[in-house]
Amino acid sequence: MNDFPKDQEFLLPASNVFIALSLLAALLLNWLPWHGILLALHPDFVALVLLYWCTHKPYRVGIGMAWMIGIFADVADASLFGQHALAYTVLAFGGVVLNRRMQMFDLRQQTLQVFPVLLLAYVVYTLIHWQLHGYVAWTYFLGSVTSALLWIPLTLLLQNMRLPRPDPDDL
List contacts with other proteins (CB under 8 A): 24, 27-28, 30-35, 39-40, 58-59, 62-64, 66-67, 70-72, 75-83, 85-86, 89-90, 93, 96-97, 99-100, 128-129, 132-135, 137, 139-140
Kindly state the helix (H) or strand (E) to which residue 70 belongs, with its residue range: helix 63-77
Q: Which residues contact 105 (CB under 8 A, 6 or more apart)?
A: 113
CB nearer other proteins, residue 128 or residue 152: 128
| Minimum CB distance to other proteins, residue 164 (Å) | 27
Query: Cβ-count burial of 100 within 10 angstroms (0-12 exposed, 13-18 middle, 19+ buried)?
Result: exposed
Rounded to whole angstroms, how far apart are CA atoms 89 and 49? 13
CB nearer other proteins, residue 35 or residue 165: 35
Rounded to whole angstroms, how far apart are CA atoms 135 and 130? 5
Rounded to whole angstroms, how far apart are CA atoms 7 and 40? 37
| Minimum CB distance to other proteins, residue 138 (Å) | 10
Q: Which residues contact 60 (CB under 8 A, 6 or more apart)?
A: 14, 16, 19, 53
CB nearer other proteins, residue 93 or residue 115: 93
Task: Please state the length of the chain.
Answer: 171
| Minimum CB distance to other proteins, residue 3 (Å) | 26
Q: Which amino acid is at 141?
A: F
| Minimum CB distance to other proteins, residue 71 (Å) | 7
| Minimum CB distance to other proteins, residue 171 (Å) | 40
CB nearer other proteins, residue 10 or residue 135: 135
CB nearer other proteins, residue 123 or residue 152: 123
